[in-house]
Amino acid sequence: MIQNCDSCGTRSTDYSEIKCPKCGEKIYRCRHCKSNMVRYACKKCGFEGP
């Protein structure tokens, strides 16, 4: 399955799926952004994390 990274917007099949700690919405991050701790924001509630 291909997902857009919520940090950089890149479409990838190599991603991690996590739940937003605030609202539980799914957040997708590509390998590059996750390993480099690039910030992300939840589209539903705006929570930001590394």
pLDDT tens digits, residue range 11-37? 999 999 999 999 999 999 999 999 999
Q: Is the pLDDT of residue 39 over 90?
A: yes
Q: Binning pLDDT at 50, 70 and 90, where does residue 48 land?
A: very high
Question: What pLDDT score was predicted for residue 50?
Answer: 86
Token pair belonging to 5: 């990274």
